[in-house]
Structures are given as structure tokens and as C-alpha cells.
Amino acid sequence: MVLTSLKPPNEIFTVDLHLWPREWYAVENYATAFAKAPLFRFMLNGALVCVAILLIQVLIAVPAAYALAKLSFRGRELCFALVIIGILIPIQVPAIPIYIALAWTGLLDTYSALILPFSVSAFGIFLLRQFFKTFPDEIIDAARLDGYSEIAIVWLVVLRSAWPAIGSFALFEFIYHWNDLYWPLVVLTDANLSTPPLGLLFYRTQTSGSDFGALMAATTVITAPLIVAFLLVQRQFKQGLAIGGIR
């Protein structure tokens, strides 16, 4: 079954079916795909949105995770409980009110609609907190003695050792948001802003599914970056998966 996913690139190339392509239709198929649908645009959108989401998430999650892991303050338990709740509630539950809010503020059909709702990742906060807990206290104390403020400690001292954890988390989130169909489907009607999955959906309905060769070509193009990214960071991903669990 899995091998099938590796075969399509071959099957893509012919319209009439055999396991190995008879005629190499590759050029025509890919050209059609790129001509009929702005595949680069979709990928660009995907990249833009995912990177933006990631940056904001890290920006917000790192300090929070640090505070929850290393500092004691009034209301800490409450904050942590809030994080746990954030993890437990699936995204579809807040979806409707967020959609309404976006409609009221006129932000539907914009990049903001795609990015902002995901700006806080409870999952990320949790993951990073677990990681920060293992950071040696002595280094932090030494930094405090040297006069570093807490904020400086977060970004200058602790962050450096957190890269592996952040890396796994980033990969996770990137893949999740790249592949997300639900939310873009809900908030976008302008195909120019589509992320890859939504773009593919639009393209499918446009071509009425008869030109499967080109369709498969489009599919391959959209999946390719993920495959490449995956191959590059295989090990980290599996570790992250085992540690953090899956959404």
C-alpha cells in the first residue's frame, strides 16, 4: 500500500494505464499542471503562512515555557492548567466563534485569518516547558548574579540549548500547517491566497478530474517539499514524535 504512494510519479506520466509508463508524458503533464493552477503561488502561500505561524508561536511559547518551568509565581498552576486545556480542546471547537470574529473584523480571506488563530501553541508551550525543566539551574542563577534580567535569560541563555526541541516542534507544526485543509477551507474564498491543500482542492474541481496525469503531477509537486524536508530531518522528527505525541 505504501509502495503505491511511491509509484504515482510513474503512473502520472501516462494517461493510459500500466505499471510502468509507456510514453513519458512527464513534461506535458507537469507543464499543464503549472499552467492551469498557480502551483508556485500555493507553495509560496504555504511557506509564508507556515513560517509566520512558526515565528509567532516560538516568540510566544518560549518565554511562557521558561516561566512555567523555572520560575515560581502566583497563578502558575492556573496558567499551566490553561495550557493543558489548550492542548485538549481540538481546534474545531473554537473554530466557529473565531470565524465569526474574523467576519466581524473583516479579516476573512486574508493571510491574518490563516496565521493569527494559530499564534499560540499550547502544545508548543508544553513541549518546551518539559524541555526547559531539564535545564541546569546553576547556569540561570549565575546569569542572574551577573545581572541579567529574566527576559534576557530567556533569549540569550536558555534558548541556545533549546534548539533541538524547538527544531522538532517547528518541523511538526510546519508539516501540520502545510497540510491543513480545514482552516483554510473555512476562511478563504480567494484562491490566490490558498495554501497547498486548498489549492489542490480548487485545482481538482477546476479540471473536473479527467486529466489525471496533470493532477498527479500537481500532487507530486505539492508533496515533494515535505518529502525533502522529511528526509533531511528524519531522526529529529521521530524523536519529537515519540516525545510529544501527535496532534
Alpha helical stretches, state H, 7-121: 8-12, 26-36, 39-70, 76-88, 92-104, 111-115
Let me know: does 189 contact 109? Beta carbons within 8 Å: yes
CB nearer to another protein: give 48 or 226: 226
Q: How far is the CB of 107 from another protein (least distance, A)?
A: 14
Let me know: does 63 contact 162? Beta carbons within 8 Å: no
Among 26, 48, 51, 60, binds another protein (CB under 8 A): 60
Instruction: Tell me which stretch binds another protein (CB under 8 A): 21-29, 32-40, 47-55, 137-145.
Output: 137-145
Binding of another protein at residue 89 (CB under 8 A)?
Answer: yes
- Cell 473565531 sits at which residue? 98
- Report the site for another protein in 164-203 (rule: CB under 8 A): 175, 178-179, 181-182, 185-186, 196-198, 200-201
- Report the site for another protein in 23-42 (rule: CB under 8 A): none
Where is 164: in which H helix or E strand? Answer: helix 159-179
CB nearer to another protein: give 51 or 186: 186
Amino acid identity at 198:
L
Binding of another protein at residue 151 (CB under 8 A)?
Answer: yes
Q: How far is the CB of 24 from another protein (least distance, A)?
A: 18
**Residue 210 phi, psi dihedral angles, 5° rounding:** -90, -30
Q: How far is the CB of 171 from another protein (least distance, A)?
A: 9
Let me know: does 184 contact 197? Beta carbons within 8 Å: yes
CB nearer to another protein: give 107 or 186: 186
